[in-house]
Amino acid sequence: MIQSAELFSRLRLSGCCYQIGLFESGGEYFWIEGAGYSFISWDVDDGEWDKVLVYFKKGDETWGNELTPPISVQEVRLPHLTRVYPNPANNFVYVKLTNYKTGSHAHISIIDLKGKPVYSGSFNNDRLKINVSHWPSGMFMFIITAKGFETNGKFIVNH
């Protein structure tokens, strides 16, 4: 499979047309040419590559929707899956999972800001109580995995 970075490294401007060279087994396989952006897809039914022009611009004439490659990816967070309180904590920190079925297995790992593991444990209900009275004051990061999802966050211990 050709990665996007490799594909863009093969992009050339030839006159008014963009050309992308794709290769298979060391030889040139085919060229995609167009005055705009093409979308390339593999058609499972006939085993052929399909080339679809999605944007065209020549002079003042345009057609389709211009593709703008992303410059960043927004972080996807799963809302309301965990609650860690109180924050800041002094003696105990409580972890509560919402939409959690009792009897399911969950795992939590907690590290300090240096990346050192300070706690790791499993629990089989929607709540966990962790004694942090002997931990140093500071910020801690947690990762919880349960029911095929993973979420993370941070909390502060302040004595």
Q: Where are the domains of the chain?
A: 4-64, 82-157
CATH topology of domain 82-157: Immunoglobulin-like (2.60.40)
When pLDDT is averaged across residues 122-144 and rounded to a whole number, the result is 90
The model's pLDDT over 97-113, given as tens digits with 9 standing for 90+, comes to 776 665 668 889 999 99
Taking the model in full, what pTM does it have? 0.50
- Of 5, 17, 106, 9, nearest to 56 by C-alpha is 17
Helix (H, G, I), strand (E, B) or coil at 44: coil
- How much is the pLDDT for 64? 62
- CA 72: distance to chain centroid? 11
When pLDDT is averaged across residues 34-46 and rounded to a whole number, the result is 50
CB-CB contact of 128 with 104 (8 Å): no
128-147 in b/e burial notation, b at 16+ Cβ within 10 A? Answer: bebebeebeeeebebebebe
CB-CB contact of 78 with 151 (8 Å): yes
- How much is the pLDDT for 131? 96
- How much is the pLDDT for 5? 46
| Parallel, antiparallel or unpaired: strands 127-131 and 138-146 | unpaired
- Of 109, 99, 124, nearest to 154 by C-alpha is 109
